[in-house]
Amino acid sequence: MAGDVLFVQAAGRDTRPGSLTMVLLQISEPGEPTASHHSRQIALGIDLGTTNSLVAHFDGTETQVLKDDAGRAALPSVVYFGSDDTKIGYAAEPFSVTEPANTVASAKRLLGRAREEFADDPYLTLTQGGALAFSTAAGDKTPVEVSSTILSALKCRAEQHLSGNIAGAVITVPAYFDDAQRQATRQAAELSGIRVLRLLNEPTAAAVAYGLDADAEEASILAVYDLGGGTFDISILRMREGLFEVLATGGDSALGGDDFDRAITDFWLAELGLTQPSAIQRRVLLGLARSAKETLSAQQEVTMDCRALDIDCAELSLSREVLEGLVGSLIDRTLQACDVALLDAEVDSVDRVVLVGGATRMPRVRAAVTECFGREPLCRLDPDQVVAMGAARQADVLVGNRGEGEALLLDVIPLSLGLETYGGLVEKIIERNSTIPVARAQEFTTARDGQTGLVVHVLQGERERVEDCRSLARFELTGIPPMVAGAARIEVTFRVDADGILEVTAVEQLTGARSEVIVKPAFGLDETQITEMLKASYEFAAEDMTARQLAEARVEGEALLAGLQSAMSQDGDLLVVDEAQHLKEGMQALEGILAADDPQAIREMTEQVGRVSEDFAARRMDRSIQSALKGVSLTSLDADQTEERSDS
């Protein structure tokens, strides 16, 4: 244990060029390119969806979405856990009405999330280990276990269709999934015995399905517009020489085709004068609304049989024109999110638009997208299958079935990652929307004389102060030899791998003392929370900046004062004639000005005192480093090295 654990203080970034390194790592492919032309490896693409999941396979010529015995491609992401029976997909769906407590749907929304976020859910419980779980007749089932059951069913389907061992799968995740959500997805796959070749962002998979990776054009910008039943996602990608990079993501996690159904239902209720419909009448109307909406994608008018409503009316009708009037404002909301994403991506126009999600079959949606982006969207492929198809193509590349130089996929991180520095401030190490994989290193130093350890506190967010960001992890670096403040050089490296998982390492450069953590945050962030955090960061930008400048100026001033006081009492003999008097005067003036809310004045006085003490500080630094190294051999330095690794 470190006797004196303190937060790190940023070490003169501006004054020491070269101490800040910036490396964009090469992507290392997880697949082993061992296959020859004669032995194709079998690889799968899996779209693990909130409502439906799919599995696809690329056979070297074409991509096939694998179907069940009844010829259906989608497997509803629903699992029934009875006391002695488990049912998955369509077979599980009826139980959501008869035994809702034992029937789990939409487990994806809970993957990698914390229990606090679902405190009110009556069907949720906690396992002995403290994990969030669904309480069912077959015992507690975590979201990872539920997802793993769905993945096992898809794997089983693939084994029936394809002969031979399955080498691995690419599994798609929403682009905004954070570390915890990605790790949970990976765990679910591992639990079902599937080797994960890579987690791939859904929009990127859709672009790959259209073969845009093989596009010979120069750099082009793509928009992926994904409107499903319950969610809307927009992603802006850049494709360059077969490489995809996600520039920005956005959307609305509570907007989709289901809202269109509700708008139609409300319209019919008003038309029928049914002010207080029963729950059954509402459910029947919602079903009719959904099929009317889908039919109106192919024709102008539709009439629905509504005798099941048990009212004095046998038919309900709807025209495409009326439907479009009802859902116009909802579609407009998706377009506003597109504009924000374009701004975030810092692009004015896009070269291609890809449609994903069942609701993009609506002609009005297509027309709105065309107008918004100024070009016709690509919609040749089934919008419900396009993600699984792209994943299958990428899986084929990753197991080595195709030559080198195939597409590598790059994604972005949704919120900045950084660490806490002295004074409760956040130093951003990796900026939001940075392309992954990425590794960035920055040098820090100790804030106090004799400090032998420090806490590295990893945070996520755009705000300047620790309390306004999300805490992801904390770990200690120990074994720093006692030196004067500012003499230790600690390099902290943030590395986000191709799956978006963050690893943070801190190394003290003199001794090589080292500590690292793989960040698996205690709770995930969904898209709404990310949007909220971004909004707050814009709203409070000016206020944050002023607070930061003052806090930084005070930290620097106080650190200088504390440092000088202890330096003068320890190494007073190094002071030359008049130096002590000058220093004391300067220190008094600085102390006086620290209480004022004037960062500029504090900074100027700190610099002035710093200049007066420069020579003295240099003499002390030499003495300190010499004594830290005195009598310490290289071997004992190695033995002192602290290795701390944690996976939690």
In the complex, which residues of this chain contact ligand AMP (CB under 6 A)? 51-52, 228-229, 256-258, 290, 293-294, 297, 357-359, 361-362, 384
Q: Given the DSSP bridges, would you call strands 124-126 and 132-136 parallel, antiparallel or unpaired?
A: antiparallel
- Radius of gyration of the chain measured on its C-alpha atoms: 30
Distance in Å from the first CA to the final CA of the chain:
19
The residue among 293 and 440 lying less far from ligand AMP, judged by its C-beta, is 293
Residues 6+ apart with CB under 8 A from 74: 52, 53, 54, 384
Rounded-to-integer distance, Cα 473 and Cα 487, Å: 26
Helices (H), 346-385: 363-373
Task: In angstroms, give the least distance from the CB of 331 to ligand AMP.
Answer: 12
For residue 536, give the amino acid letter.
A
Alpha carbon distance 519, 521 (integer Å): 6
How many CB atoms neighbour CB 37 within 10 A?
7
Question: What distance in Å separates the CA atoms of residue 397 and residue 60, rounded to the nearest whole number?
Answer: 10
Structure tokens at 311: 């009212």
d(CA 335, CA 533): 21
Smallest distance from ligand AMP to CB 269, Å? 19
Yes or no: say if 442 and 20 are a contact pair by the CB < 8 Å rule.
yes
SS3 244: strand
And the tokens for 473? 């992890």
Q: Closer CB to ligand AMP, residue 127 or residue 295?
A: 295
Rounded to the nearest whole angstrom, what is the least distance from the CB of residue 189 to ligand AMP in the complex? 21
Helical (H) or strand (E) element with 111 = none
Cβ-proximal residue to ligand AMP, closest one: 257
How many CB atoms neighbour CB 336 within 10 A? 12
Write out the H or E segment, with its range, that includes residue 610.
Answer: helix 599-629
Work out the number of other CB atoms within 10 angstroms of the CB of residue 561.
Answer: 18
The DSSP 8-state label assigned to residue 18 in this structure reads T
Residue (of 393, 334, 412, 506) closest to 174 by Cα position: 412
The structure tokens listed for 559 are 């650190």
Residues 462/432, Cβ–Cβ less than 8 Å: yes
Burial 507-517 (b: 16+ CB within 10 A, else e): bbebbebbbbb
Place of tokens 């002969």: 163
C-alpha 203/C-alpha 173 separation (Å) is: 9
Distance CA 173, CA 641 (A): 39
| Cα–Cα distance, 253 to 103 (Å, whole number) | 23
Residue 55: name the closest of 45, 69, 64 by CA: 45
Comparing CB distances to ligand AMP, the nearer of 287 and 512 is 287
Catalytic site positions: 47, 108, 202, 226
User: Which residues, other chains included, contact 259 with Cβ-Cβ below 8 Å and sequence gap of 6+?
Assistant: 327, 330
Q: Which DSSP category does 195 fall into?
A: -
Nearest-CA neighbor of 149 among 77, 56, 101?
77
Rounded Cα distance between 104 and 92, Å, is: 9
* Whole-angstrom distance, CA of residue 510 vs CA of residue 287: 69
Q: Which residues contact 71 (CB under 8 A, 6 or more apart)?
A: none
Q: Which is nearer to ligand AMP, 63 or 451 (CB)?
A: 63
Beta partners for 525? none
